[in-house]
Structure 1
């Protein structure tokens, strides 16, 4: 089967295989893949084109790009990173409609360096699997996507050329994605389907449509249609007892001999031989690929040879309904026709509910990180019911220090925090609130190397501090007092990120909690 199913493990929307490639036959998948050559060289075929990738080179395979990999006359180590687009589309709605290209000759070296570093960070996080590494992998992948959108994103113009608008690169004909066309062909392959019908639907000339299909897949329209029919026939061949003549007719072939011809072309054997060999067995394209997975030590050595500072860190699990906060991102025009940003499109940030809640004395323990932030005296850039973001300036191009404070509580708990009168009331809220939340803060205009400090108090920390406040440990022994202090102490971590235009900072919570995040340019 040429459509490869990607299996994502450990609840991660990211999969990474690092291996010595011998031969990985033609296939495609519905997600995006980045191929990164850590050592040696490989031959990559994508659509109509053939590329030789050497150490340090990268290649982006957009969803449904048909491709193959094979070794050259030297050994290699290749990192293949795949991203679950159905997951990341929640944050970037147009992600599947964008087309990404890495041009090793024309792209700026600093942009390529950022991309290499992020790829290396993700690989190291997966290798080391530190506590809560899933969170770090997802956060790094957000930064990877931001880097792709900023520096490696192309759009198609009226001439059928792909052009990078943001980077001002030269227009070029490239193998692009044809999502609507491919979807239409998959939905209608069982009947007589013509190129002129699709061209009319897409408002394109037959010549131009034929040309871009060839550019994208390396196949003519008719060969592509036959390939789709053959691929879809595999299920009936292996899961039913239908005769191949009936299968050929159901798949849209005018004669069984054409079905056999194209099946042999793609699967390398007669349909009946294929049925005999694989019926009742698990069959995936990857099982036909020839490669040897690399050991963690081999991977780490190769990564360190190419990049500096690829390390790991913390946190939690995947959550639904993320809170997405954009800093310095245009979201439309104001009444005067001037661009307005995400944080200024809402009401005055200084009127946000978090200030009312945290200034109440009964919430002092909950508000400790808030007061730490307020003591900095920075300018409020954005605020809401459960978050506030400040900086030493207001122009993101000049901001070298950004401070982010986020709390996990919903509007109902927020109303309660405005009304409670005792710390016992607060303790009950902390103990009983169990919902999950995810914050993703996207900082536009942030380029360079940043150090990120995280001061975090989870539900257990808050509950312990409140309990100790209500019941001072008058008779507790030294060991009990030490355990109490350790249990109530926040966690403090630090790590570094290299960003290109957009820095993404992510945090998650299970139950009531708070995190103060300090972002400093190095």
Structure 2
């Protein structure tokens, strides 16, 4: 929110542009969180505080609170901003990644990725990565739920590109070696898992215009492909074939954003699902 506030007060960019550059997948989410955070619509906020360095500062009044009261207030704020409720229904993962660092890489990342791609339920994404020819040296950062890859370009003026792979599956499914994952276990875990994870990735050190392409496989798409792969199911009815084809298809979108010192990427995964985000610098305004 603080980054979007700077763009709102320091530029004349449209609200929709600021929303994308702040990492929101839709303007409605940005408006929702902005109003909850600042107490007013972005346009109203811009009119009220543009040109005022400390526009939101007011005379402070302080009240002594107990530790429990402070905890309750913090939980309420977190719940309002991120829709986090008790019971851990929504998990929030925040990542700060400095693109100018040279010592991010972890040796285990590639092994983790290879193990994940060996799982049958990951095959839709594995097929995409096979066409991209990612290399072991491209893996630069990661933790359970995401892996960041960087291609350093060709050394002849082509800037680095980034891939971020997000995945949201049950711990049991992810932590079980691929050779021990039975068909019944995979189907049960994919269907059962309902938790939501929101990822906020902050790529520091990036400037200019970027194309952000997304490819997401929902639970339904994964199950449809997995059912065909493991059970060999075929459908004679043309209408049924068409529906099944739609079910297996990923959700794809492409956006163009401008970064100033930082590029924010947000992903929301609900239930068993996975998403690949491909980030490429755009030269000379070309798409």
1:376 to partner: Cα distance: 2.7
1:371 to partner: Cα distance: 4.5
Cα distance change on mapping 1:123 and 1:326 into 2, 3 Å: closer
* Partner Cα separation in structure 2 for residue 389 and residue 454 of structure 1: 14
1:459 to partner: Cα distance: 0.5
Cα distance change on mapping 1:462 and 1:138 into 2, 3 Å: farther
Tell whether 2:102 aligns with 1:324. Answer: no
Output the TM-score relative to the length of structure 1: 0.38
Cα distance change on mapping 1:494 and 1:467 into 2, 3 Å: same
Among 7, 13, 24, the residue aligned to 1:117 = 13
* Partner Cα separation in structure 2 for residue 329 and residue 475 of structure 1: 48
* Partner Cα separation in structure 2 for residue 136 and residue 354 of structure 1: 32
Tell whether 2:110 aligns with 1:387. Answer: no
1:369 to partner: Cα distance: 1.6
Cα distance change on mapping 1:182 and 1:132 into 2, 3 Å: closer
1:182 aligns with 60
2:116 aligns with 357
Matching of residues 91-106 of structure 1 within 5 Å: 102=10
2:285 aligns with none
2:213 aligns with 453
**Structure number with higher helix proportion:** 2
1:508 to partner: Cα distance: 0.7
Q: Is the 1:135–1:507 contact (alpha carbons within 8 Å) kept by the matching residues of 2?
A: no
Cα distance change on mapping 1:488 and 1:405 into 2, 3 Å: same
1:480 aligns with 240
Q: Is the 1:354–1:387 contact (alpha carbons within 8 Å) kept by the matching residues of 2?
A: no
Cα distance change on mapping 1:138 and 1:390 into 2, 3 Å: farther
1:304 aligns with none
Larger radius of gyration: 1
* Counterpart secondary structure, 1:466: helix
1:466 to partner: Cα distance: 1.3
1:139 to partner: Cα distance: 10
1:423 aligns with 183
1:464 aligns with 224
Query: Any unmatched runs of 5+ in structure 1?
Result: 1-13, 15-30, 37-57, 61-101, 103-111, 125-130, 142-172, 189-316, 331-338
* Partner Cα separation in structure 2 for residue 133 and residue 177 of structure 1: 23
Instruction: Provide the alpha-carbon RMSD of the alignment.
Output: 4.0
Output the TM-score relative to the length of structure 2: 0.66
* Counterpart secondary structure, 2:13: helix
* Counterpart secondary structure, 1:322: strand
Among 133, 147, 165, the residue aligned to 1:376 = 133
Cα distance change on mapping 1:505 and 1:369 into 2, 3 Å: same
Cα distance change on mapping 1:510 and 1:34 into 2, 3 Å: closer
* Partner Cα separation in structure 1 for residue 170 and residue 273 of structure 2: 12
* Partner Cα separation in structure 2 for residue 182 and residue 398 of structure 1: 51
1:372 to partner: Cα distance: 2.3
* Counterpart secondary structure, 2:187: helix
* Partner Cα separation in structure 2 for residue 34 and residue 421 of structure 1: 47
Cα distance change on mapping 1:122 and 1:392 into 2, 3 Å: closer
1:446 to partner: Cα distance: 1.2
1:119 to partner: Cα distance: 2.8
Among 393, 399, 402, the residue aligned to 2:162 = 402
Cα distance change on mapping 1:118 and 1:352 into 2, 3 Å: farther
* Counterpart secondary structure, 1:367: helix
2:249 aligns with 489
1:513 aligns with 273
Q: Is the 1:354–1:384 contact (alpha carbons within 8 Å) kept by the matching residues of 2?
A: no
* Partner Cα separation in structure 2 for residue 138 and residue 354 of structure 1: 35
* Counterpart secondary structure, 2:252: strand
2:79 aligns with none
* Counterpart secondary structure, 2:169: coil
Q: Is the 1:438–1:509 contact (alpha carbons within 8 Å) kept by the matching residues of 2?
A: yes
Cα distance change on mapping 1:323 and 1:177 into 2, 3 Å: same
* Partner Cα separation in structure 1 for residue 18 and residue 4 of structure 2: 14
Q: Is the 1:349–1:381 contact (alpha carbons within 8 Å) kept by the matching residues of 2?
A: no
Q: Is the 1:454–1:492 contact (alpha carbons within 8 Å) kept by the matching residues of 2?
A: yes
1:351 to partner: Cα distance: 5.5
